[in-house]
Structures are given as C-alpha cells and as structure tokens.
C-alpha cells in the first residue's frame, strides 16, 4: 500500500491508518520497533514532519510509545487496540456508504448487492483469508 496525496483525507491520517493496519495485522508485534520516522517518510515519499505527526497521533491513541534516540515501539496492548480501531474505521466507511445509498432511495437489496460485489472483487486481490 502507499499513500494518496490527492485524497481529501490528510496524509498524516492516512499514515495513521496505514501503520495501524500493519500493527493490527501483526506485521509489527507488541514491543517491536516500528520503522523510524525518517525511514517511513522515505518509503512513503512524504515529509518526515508528516510522519512525525502521524506517530504523535498514534502515541496519543496508546498504540505505540517513542523513546528519544531509540525509536518507536508497539505498545503491549497495541495489537488488540489497533484491531478495534481498524474495525471501527471499516464500519464508519460502510455507514457512510449506506447513508449515501439511503439518501438516493436505493433499496437495501441493491445496497447489499453493491457491497457483495465489492467484497468479491477484493477477494481476488487479497486472497480468501477466511479463517
């Protein structure tokens, strides 16, 4: 995944969600070091200040803690908390979409059909992951 500078969502929020996804998925486990601010900035082709802001937000949310000279580390309850927040983010997107559909008087069945189509599309990309 990368980051989209044309989106209306601020870059630092996209980075928050990106890192949160990695933690939720277990790519970085509690206690482990996350990529340094400068390294992640290079990887995402973004200013270090922007990554710093994202890390500050993640620290505020209790997902990670930072130590000067050492780096940023996933909190002990970071994985669980990241999963919760990710699922809440998913739900918020769905609620938005449903609201738009409702406002346009799309019947519930049609809304559900649109969702199922999008979901099966995504299965091709990400694999089944049906555990």
25 is a site residue for its own copies (CB under 8 A): yes
Single out the residue of 36, 61, 66, 86 in contact with its own copies (rule: CB under 8 A): 86
User: How many residues interact with DNA (rule CB under 7 A)?
Assistant: 29
61 is a site residue for its own copies (CB under 8 A): no
Pairwise CA distance, residues 123 & 131, whole Å: 13
Nearer to its own copies, 1 or 70 (CB): 1
38 is a site residue for its own copies (CB under 8 A): no
**Residues whose CB falls within 8 Å of the CB of residue 76, separated by 6 or more in sequence, listed in order:** 30, 31
> Within 10 A of 62 (CB to CB), how many other CB atoms are there?
12
3 is a site residue for its own copies (CB under 8 A): no
Single out the residue of 28, 52, 78, 85 in contact with DNA (rule: CB under 7 A): 52
Single out the residue of 23, 24, 46, 82 in contact with DNA (rule: CB under 7 A): 46
Given the rule CB under 7 A, which residues bind DNA?
5, 8, 10-14, 34, 36-39, 46-50, 52-53, 55-56, 59, 66-72
């Amino acid at each position: 995944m990368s980051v989209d500078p044309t989106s209306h969502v601020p870059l630092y929020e996209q980075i928050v969600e990106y890192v949160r996804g990695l933690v939720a998925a277990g790519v970085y486990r509690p206690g482990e070091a996350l990529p340094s601010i400068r390294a992640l900035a290079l990887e995402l082709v973004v200013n270090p200040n922007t990554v710093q802001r994202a890390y500050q937000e993640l620290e505020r949310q209790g997902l990670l803690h930072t130590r000067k000279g050492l780096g940023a580390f996933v909190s002990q309850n970071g994985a669980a908390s990241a999963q919760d927040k990710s699922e809440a983010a998913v739900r918020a997107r769905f609620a938005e979409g449903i609201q738009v559909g409702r406002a346009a008087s799309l019947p519930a069945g049609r809304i559900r059909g649109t969702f199922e189509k999008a979901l099966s599309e995504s299965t091709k990309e990400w694999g089944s992951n049906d555990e």
